[in-house]
Amino acid sequence: MSTIKSLDPRVTRFNIEEDDQSMQPLERRDYFETYEVFHQAKRGGRHTHVGSVHAPSPEMAFLFAKEQYGRRSTSTSIWVVRTSDIHTVGDEHSDMWENVPEKQYREAGFYKVRSRIEQFKKRHNDS
Amino acid sequence: MTASNEALKSLLYATADDLLILGHRNSEWTGLGPLLEEDIAFSSMAQDQMGQSLALYEILQRDLGERDPDTIAFLRPESEYRCCHFVEYPIGSYAFSLMRHFLFDQASYLRFAALAESSFKPLAFVSRKLLGEIKYHIMHGNTWMAQLSRGGEESHARMQSALNEAFPMALGIFEKLEHEEELVDAGVYAGSAQLRDLWLQHIEPALAHGGLALPELNAQEAGTAFFGGRKGFHSEHLGSLIEEMGAVLRSDPSADW
């Protein structure tokens, strides 16, 4: 009889049989939600997405995020946002992101002159 | 007047030893925490506390002529430690450890906030720097307290019983220090009884928010049941803890890390 191999080694160590009928899934309300974490490394800088945490409330998500993503580097702020509050569209619409080649003129990277503009800006800032 | 070195040492050892021993105790949860994220947060705070004790041991060495922090932390005989019994007790259930963390860090914040105004400048300087770190510990304790004590009947009952167990022990934090009058007169320290009253004012609303009430204490519990630590008399749990903490260092004291 094979036992459950979980990503969490503590679960694996219990040697729970895979078809153990005594273990029923929890009801929906017993699951924590996920929160997305945004970290600011210096004051005035942008908040960068660094990962997510599981938590039962925004306050707790903040507690976890601060230690999980803020303790190894300098931090000036952390945001947590309920993952379900982020609006996007699913993979079934992935073709939306494709561009036809002849529209590249609409992308900033298309212009050859861009590198010269950067050089000018650099010279200008240095002087 | 200024406080004697003996009086300053009594204050610094009591404060630092509380942090070292509780930090070490709480680190025993590493890898066993109830949630991955909480495991990381709790372990990180335990490390904070070891770091806070180091900052105080450094003052003892630099300003008061005591031995180096490693020796002080790991190689003293039990009777030279000045921690309270509260921090010595085993981690018990997570409810007990969380309650101890909540009660202790509330006291720790108030103690350092008072010491930030101390007339002993090196201590005032270090205390101001530690307050921000402990502010997070308080937020962590308050948030968990609210979450678990409002998380249903069983959860509330467990938190109340953890409070009943931990509260009389926590009063040991406020046992009078050796040379306390001298420290108070010199403006180094606010005084243990005053800190205890301030602490009660802070913890009661946070506990009431979760529907938790301070237990009725008998005369002994309200008195000196968990006292002794500030004079070097400890619970049965400290000896083995010190033994374990210093085992690696004692195996080769000359080793270079």
Q: Do A64 and B38 touch (CB under 8 A)?
A: yes
**Fold for domain A28-87?**
Ubiquitin-like (UB roll) (3.10.20)
What is the residue-wise DSSP string for chain A?
Answer: --B---SSHHHHTT--BTT-TT--PPPGGGSPEEEEEEEESSTTSPPEEEEEEEESSHHHHHHHHHHHHHTTS--SEEEEEEGGG-----GGGGGGG---GGGGGGSGGG-THHHHHHHHHHHHHH-
Identify the closest residue of chain A to B43 by CA–CA distance.
Answer: A67
Two structure tokens written together for B166: 């931990």
Whether A55 contacts A37, CB under 8 Å: no
Look at residues B157, B192, B172, B143 and name the one whose alpha carbon lies nearest to residue B45: B143
For residues B90 and B229, give the distance between their C-alpha atoms in angstroms, rounded to a whole number. Answer: 16
* pLDDT string in tens for chain A (127-residue length): 688 888 888 888 888 888 877 777 767 666 789 999 999 999 999 999 999 999 999 999 999 999 999 888 889 999 999 999 999 998 898 888 887 767 766 777 666 777 787 888 888 886 5
Q: In 10 A of CB B9, how many CB atoms?
A: 19
The continuous run of DSSP H or E covering B107 comes out as helix B94-115
Q: In this predicted model, what pLDDT tens digit does every residue of B73-130 receive, in sequence order?
A: 999 999 999 999 999 999 999 999 999 999 999 999 999 999 999 999 999 999 999 9
What ipTM is given for this predicted complex?
Answer: 0.83
Identify the closest residue of chain A to B41 by CA–CA distance.
Answer: A67
Q: Do A53 and B37 touch (CB under 8 A)?
A: yes
| pTM listed for this prediction | 0.84
Contact of B147 with chain A, judged by CB distance below 8 Å, is answered with: yes
Contact of B58 with chain A, judged by CB distance below 8 Å, is answered with: no
Pick the CATH number of B5-250 from 1.20.1260.10, 1.20.140.10, 3.40.50.1100, 1.10.940.10: 1.20.1260.10
Q: Which residues of A touch B36 (CB under 8 A)?
A: 8, 54
Task: Collect all residues from A whose CB is shorter than 8 A from any CB in B.
Answer: 8, 53-57, 59-60, 63-64, 66-68, 71
